[in-house]
C-alpha cells in the first residue's frame, strides 16, 4: 500500500515537451513510474523519447486511461492546466510550478472544491510525491528514497518545504528505514493538499507505521495539524520545524497581526506538536534520529 | 512588494477608490507646489514603510505655505525607526467625523479571501482586535463567488457603520476587493477609512502589498520596483534573481530552497544567508557567491544543496566558475546531495581547487560544524 499513488497509477506529464517537464518526466519514467503520455497544446502526435504527446488532457485520457497528472508548466498557464486535468477526470494532479500568483491559486483551489471534488491537487510549488519502488511524480531524486519492506516498520513523510523533503528522505535512507510514501505538499499560500489530508491517509494506510512531518515558520498549518493529531492520529510521529533562528518576518499590515494572533512562530508550532505527542527534533537529522528510535521500538 | 502610502493611493485611484487630492514631493519646494495645487490646509506625511510615523512626528498639518516649508524641511531626512524619509506625500486635509478599518487578505487556513471591517478604525485597531474582537467583522469570501454590493453592504451593517456611511463604504469595499483580486494584492488595507461631515467615505491611508508572482501581468508595477527600500546587498541579489536575507553573522549561507536555507541557519545559528531558489544553474550559483562575497563580515561560506529541480552538476560548475572570476574572501564548505550530486562532486574534485579554499562534507551537520569552526578561526 501507499497513499495517493501506487504502482498502478497512470501518469500524464502536462508540459512534457518543455525543459522541466521533459527532464523530470523522463527521470520519473526511468524510476519506474508508469508515464503513459504527455500533453502540450499544438504538439499532439509527436513523442518524447517514445512517450506519446497529445493536444489536450481529454484526448490523452481517452487514449491512455491516465488517472494522474504531473503539471510542469510555467506559472501563467498552471491554473489552466490544473483545471483542464480536473475537467478531463484526472483524480490526482501534482503541480510543481513555482511562482503562481496567489489570487490564481485561491481561485483554482476553490473551483476544484466546488466543481471537481473528486480531483486532488498536490502543490503547487511542491517537489511532488514518491512511493519508493512504485511511483515517483515530480522532481524528487528517486535514489534518495528507501523502499518500504513488507514486514515493516515503514515511515510516511509529509513536508511543507521542498528541499527539506529530500533531507527527510535521505535521513531515513541513511538509517535504512523504509518509506511508504513521501508527500511534499509545498509551501505556497493555498496548497491543494495539506498536512491533515496526508495524516488522515497515513493513519489509514496499513503499510505506514510511523509518520515524520517537516514544517516551517509562517501560517498556521502545523498548529492545525497538531489539533488533528491529538484526536485522530495514533501512529507515532517525529517532526522538525524549519526557521527556529530565522529573523522575524515582515508584518503584513494590521491585517496580518489580527489574523495570526501570535501563531506562526517555530516555537509555537513545536509546542503545539509536542502537546499532541509528536517527538520534536531541532534539526532534520535529529528528527531522523528520533524516528529511528521510534521505529526500533515498533 | 510593499508599496509606500502614496503608491498605494495611486494604485487605489486606478480602481476608483476615493483618496484625497495630493502628490509626492522629494524637496521642500516640491512639497509647496503640491500643497498649492491641493489647496490648504494640507497634511504633510512621511513616506516610510514602518508603523508609528504619526507618533514619531512624521505627519503634520499645515495651514499655510510657510508651515508646509517648516514641516517638509523637518520631515524630509527624518529617521523613523531606522527608515530615513526621502519623500513626503502632501494632500488636502480632510474633516473627519468617524474612522473605520477595512482590509482584504487571503486567509490561508480557510483558503478563502477575508474581509475585515470595523467601525473602530485608526491607529489602535490591533488593540481593538485583542480587547474587543467582536468589533471587527470578519467575512470569508469564496474567490469563485467574489464580493457583490449586497454582501458588502451587509458587512457594513454588521460592523455597525452608521446608515449615512453605508452606501459609500459598501461601494469602496467592492472597489477595494476588485483592487485586491484583479490588482493581485496580498494585502489591501485602508486604515483609517473615514466618514466626512458631508457624508462622503474615503481612504485616508493606503497599505498595499503586491504579489511579486503576478508581476508578469502587471507592467504598471515597474514604477514601484525602483523605490523599494533595499540595501546594496539586497539590490545586488535582486538583480541576479536571488532571494537574499541580509543578517549580521560571519558565516555566509547559500542553499537551494527557503526551507533548507532556514534549516541550515538553524544548524549554524549565527550567520548571513542566501537562497538560490529552484532550478539554479551555474550562473545563478556564481551570482550567489558574488552577493555573499560582497559582505565583508563573512569569514566562511556554507553551501548546502539538496538537489531536486536544482542539479548538482550545475551547482558545481557555478562554484568553479565563480572561483575563477571572483576573488572569494572566505573558504567554502559544501554539502552536495540529491539530483546529479555524484556528477557535481566529481566536477569539484577534478577542478583542482586547494582544500583550504573548498572542502566537501558528507552531511549538513558536518558542513555546518566545519563552516562555524572556520569562522571562529578567522
pLDDT tens for each residue of B110-129: 999 999 999 998 878 888 88
Average pLDDT over residues B155-163: 97
Task: Give the whole-angstrom CA distance, residue A160 versus residue A183.
Answer: 9
List, edge to edge, every strand of the sheet that includes B22-25: B22-25, B88-92, B42-46, B59-62
pLDDT on residue B277: 46
Nearest to B308 among A99, A163, A255 (CB): A163
At A57 the pLDDT is 98
pLDDT: is A1 or B139 the higher one? B139
Q: Which residues of B touch A217 (CB under 8 A)?
A: 262
In B233-262, the residues whose Cβ lies within 8 Å of chain A are: 245, 247, 255-260, 262
Band of residue B253 on the pLDDT scale cut at 50, 70, 90: confident
Lowest mean pLDDT among B48-52, B107-111, B130-134: B48-52
Sign of CA dihedral A257, A258, A259, A262: positive
Between CA B240 and CA B227 the distance in angstroms is: 18
> Do B7 and B89 form a contact (C-beta atoms < 8 A)?
no
Average pLDDT, chain B: 89
Q: Given a cut of 80, is residue B6 above it in pLDDT?
A: yes
What ipTM score was computed for the predicted complex, to two decimals? 0.90
State how far the Cα of A76 lies from the Cα of A78, in Å rounded to an integer. 6
- Count the neighbouring beta carbons within 10 Å of the beta carbon of residue B103: 28
- At residue B49, the pLDDT reads 86
- What crossing angle do the helices spanning A75-87 and A102-115 adopt, rounded to 10°? 0
Find the mean pLDDT for residues B194-199: 96
Handedness of CA A45, A10, A57, A15 (dihedral sign): negative
Is A250 in contact with B2 (Cβ distance < 8 A)? Answer: yes
Closest C-alpha among A191, A35, A185, A41 to residue A112? A191
In this prediction, residue A253 carries a pLDDT of 58
Position A262 scores a pLDDT of: 56
A204 contact partners, CB below 8 Å, separation of at least 6: none
Distance CA A250, CA B332 (A): 30
> From CA B78, how far away is CA B56, in angstroms rounded?
9
Q: Which long-range contacts link A36-41 to residues 24+ away (Cβ below 8 Å)?
A: A36/A10, A36/A11, A36/A12, A36/A60, A36/A64, A36/A65, A36/A66, A37/A12, A37/A13, A37/A63, A37/A64, A37/A66, A38/A12, A38/A13, A38/A14, A39/A12, A39/A13, A39/A14, A39/A15, A39/A69, A40/A14, A40/A15, A40/A16
Predicted confidence at residue A34, as pLDDT, reads 97
Query: Per the residue annotation, which of B6, B11, B100, B101 is the catalytic one?
Result: B101
Q: Look at A110 and B143 and tell me if their CB atoms are within 8 Å.
A: yes
The count of other CB atoms within 10 Å of the CB of residue A207 is: 19
Nearest-neighbour CA in chain B from A177: distance (Å)? 18
* A93: its cell numbers: 494532479
Pick the residue with more confidence: A50 or B299? Answer: A50
Sign of the CA dihedral running A235, A291, A211, A190: positive
Q: Considering only alpha carbons, which residue of chain B is nearest residue A216?
A: B259
Could you tell me which chain B residue has the CA closest to the CA of A111? B144
In the block, residue with C-alpha cell 486567509: B107
Q: Is the pLDDT of residue A152 over 50?
A: yes
pLDDT (average), residues A55-83: 97
CB-based burial label for B106 (10 Å; 0-12, 13-18, 19+): buried
A101 neighbourhood in chain B, CB within 8 Å: 184, 211, 213-214, 217
- Determine the pLDDT at residue B278: 44
Average pLDDT, chain A: 93
Least confident of A170-184, A241-255, B92-106, B216-230: A241-255
Q: Which residue has the higher pLDDT, B20 or B244?
A: B20
Going along chain B from its start, the domains and CATH numbers come out as 22-92 (3.30.1490.20), 98-221 (3.30.470.20), 232-377 (3.40.50.261)
Least confident of A61-75, A119-133, B244-258: B244-258
pLDDT at B279: 46
Contact B265 A246 (CB under 8 A): yes
- Residue B177 bears catalytic tag: no
pLDDT at A92: 98
B243, A227 in Cβ contact below 8 A? no
* Total length of chain A: 298
pLDDT tens figures, B208-244? 999 999 999 999 998 887 666 667 777 777 777 777 7
**Structure-model confidence comparison of residues A214 and B287, the more confident one:** A214
- Tell whether B367 is within 8 A of chain A (Cβ): no
Residue A55 has pLDDT above 90, yes or no: yes
Distance separating alpha carbons of residues A252 and A256, to the nearest angstrom = 5
Average pLDDT over residues A152-175: 93
Residues in chain B: 378
- Is B101 a residue of the active site? yes
Q: Which of A26, A164, A239, A258 to mutate to test the interface with B (most CBs of B within 10 A)?
A: A258
- pLDDT of A141 above 50: yes
Instruction: Give all domains of chain A, ordered by start, each with its CATH number.
Output: 10-122 (3.40.50.720), 145-296 (3.40.50.261)
Q: Is residue B271 scored above 70 in pLDDT?
A: no
CB atoms within 10 A of CB A150: 7
pLDDT given for residue A177 in this prediction:
96
Catalytic residue list of A: 254
Q: Flag whether pLDDT at A127 surpasses 60.
A: yes
Which sign does the torsion angle of CA A138, B237, B239, B81 carry? positive
Residues whose CB falls within 8 Å of the CB of residue A229, separated by 6 or more in sequence, listed in order: A199, A237, A273, A276, A277, A278
User: pLDDT: is A269 or A258 the higher one?
Assistant: A269
For chain B, the 3-state helix, strand and coil shares in percent, each to the nearest 5, are 40, 25, 35
Amino acid at each position: 500500500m501507499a497513499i495517493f499513488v501506487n504502482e498502478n497509477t497512470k501518469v500524464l506529464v502536462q508540459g512534457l515537451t518543455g525543459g522541466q517537464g521533459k527532464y523530470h518526466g523522463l527521470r520519473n519514467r526511468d524510476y519506474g513510474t508508469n508515464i503513459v503520455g504527455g500533453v502540450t497544446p499544438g504538439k499532439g502526435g509527436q513523442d518524447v523519447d517514445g512517450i506519446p504527446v497529445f493536444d489536450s488532457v481529454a484526448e490523452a485520457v481517452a487514449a491512455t486511461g491516465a488517472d494522474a497528472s504531473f503539471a510542469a508548466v510555467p506559472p501563467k498557464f498552471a491554473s489552466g492546466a490544473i483545471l483542464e486535468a480536473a475537467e478531463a477526470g484526472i483524480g490526482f494532479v501534482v503541480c510543481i510550478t513555482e511562482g503562481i500568483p496567489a489570487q490564481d491559486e485561491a481561485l483554482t483551489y476553490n473551483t476544484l472544491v466546488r466543481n471537481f471534488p473528486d480531483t486532488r491537487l498536490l502543490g503547487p510549488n511542491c517537489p511532488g510525491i514518491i512511493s519508493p519502488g512504485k511511483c515517483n511524480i515530480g522532481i524528487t531524486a528517486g535514489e534518495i528514497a528507501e523502499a518500504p519492506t513488507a514486514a515493516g516498520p515503514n515511515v510516511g513523510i509529509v513536508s511543507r518545504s521542498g528541499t527539506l523533503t529530500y533531507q527527510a528522505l535521505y535521513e531515513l535512507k541513511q538509517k535504512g528505514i523504509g518509506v511508504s510514501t513521501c508527500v511534499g505538499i509545498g509551501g505556497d499560500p493555498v496548497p491543494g493538499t495539506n498536512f491533515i489530508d496526508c495524516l488522515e491517509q497515513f493513519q489509514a494506510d496499513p503499510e505506514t507505521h510511523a509518520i515524520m512531518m517537516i514544517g516551517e515558520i509562517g501560517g498556521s498549518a502545523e498548529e492545525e495539524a497538531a489539533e488533528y493529531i491529538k484526536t485522530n492520529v495514533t501512529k507515532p510521529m517525529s517532526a522538525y520545524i524549519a526557521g527556529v533562528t530565522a529573523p522575524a518576518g515582515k508584518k503584513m499590515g494590521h491585517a496580518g497581526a489580527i489574523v495570526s494572533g501570535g501563531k506562526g512562530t517555530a516555537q509555537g508550532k513545536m509546542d503545539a506538536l509536542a502537546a499532541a505527542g509528536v517527538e520534536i527534533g531541532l534539526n532534520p537529522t535529529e528528527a531522523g534520529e528520533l524516528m529511528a528510535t521510534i521505529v526500533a521500538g515498533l | 512588494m510593499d508599496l509606500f502610502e502614496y503608491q498605494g493611493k495611486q494604485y487605489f485611484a486606478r480602481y476608483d477608490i476615493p483618496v484625497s487630492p495630493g502628490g509626492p514631493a522629494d524637496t521642500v519646494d516640491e512639497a509647496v507646489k503640491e500643497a498649492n495645487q491641493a489647496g490648504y490646509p494640507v497634511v504633510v506625511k512621511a513616506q516610510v514603510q514602518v508603523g508609528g510615523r504619526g507618533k514619531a512626528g512624521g505627519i503634520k498639518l499645515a495651514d499655510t505655505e510657510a508651515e508646509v516649508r517648516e514641516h517638509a524641511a523637518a520631515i524630509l531626512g527624518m529617521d523613523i525607526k531606522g527608515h530615513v524619509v526621502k519623500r513626503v506625500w502632501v494632500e488636502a486635509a480632510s474633516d473627519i467625523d468617524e474612522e473605520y478599518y477595512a482590509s482584504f487578505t487571503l486567509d490561508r487556513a480557510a483558503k478563502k479571501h477575508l474581509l475585515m471591517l470595523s467601525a473602530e478604525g485608526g491607529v489602535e485597531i490591533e488593540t481593538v482586535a485583542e480587547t474587543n474582537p467582536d468589533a471587527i467583522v470578519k467575512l470569508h469570501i469564496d474567490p469563485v463567488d467574489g464580493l457583490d454590493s449586497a454582501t458588502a453592504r451587509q458587512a457594513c451593517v454588521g460592523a455597525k457603520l452608521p446608515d449615512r456611511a453605508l452606501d459609500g463604504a459598501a461601494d469602496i469595499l467592492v472597489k477595494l476587493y476588485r483592487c485586491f483580486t484583479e490588482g493581485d494584492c496580498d494585502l489591501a488595507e485602508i486604515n483609517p477609512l473615514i466618514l466626512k461631515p458631508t457624508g462622503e467615505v474615503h481612504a485616508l491611508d493606503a497599505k498595499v502589498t503586491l504579489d511579486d508572482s503576478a508581476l508578469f501581468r502587471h507592467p504598471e508595477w515597474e514604477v514601484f520596483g525602483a523605490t523599494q527600500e533595499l540595501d546594496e546587498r539586497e539590490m545586488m541579489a535582486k538583480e541576479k534573481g536571488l532571494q537574499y536575507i541580509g543578517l549580521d553573522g560571519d558565516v555566509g549561507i547559500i542553499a537551494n530552497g527557503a526551507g533548507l536555507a532556514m534549516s541550515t541557519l538553524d544548524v549554524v545559528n549565527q550567520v548571513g544567508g542566501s537562497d538560490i531558489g529552484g532550478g539554479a544553474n551555474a550562473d545563478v550559483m556564481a551570482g550567489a557567491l558574488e552577493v555573499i562575497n560582497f559582505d565583508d563580515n563573512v569569514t566562511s561560506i556554507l553551501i548546502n544543496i539538496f538537489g531536486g529541480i536544482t542539479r548538482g552538476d550545475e551547482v558545481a560548475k557555478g562554484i568553479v566558475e565563480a572561483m575563477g572570476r571572483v576573488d572569494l574572501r572566505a573558504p567554502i564548505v559544501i554539502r552536495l546531495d540529491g539530483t546529479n550530486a555524484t556528477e557535481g562532486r566529481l566536477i569539484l574534485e577534478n577542478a583542482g581547487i586547494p582544500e583550504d579554499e573548498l572542502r566537501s562534507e558528507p552531511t549538513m551537520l558536518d558542513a555546518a560544524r566545519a563552516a562555524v569552526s572556520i569562522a571562529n578561526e578567522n
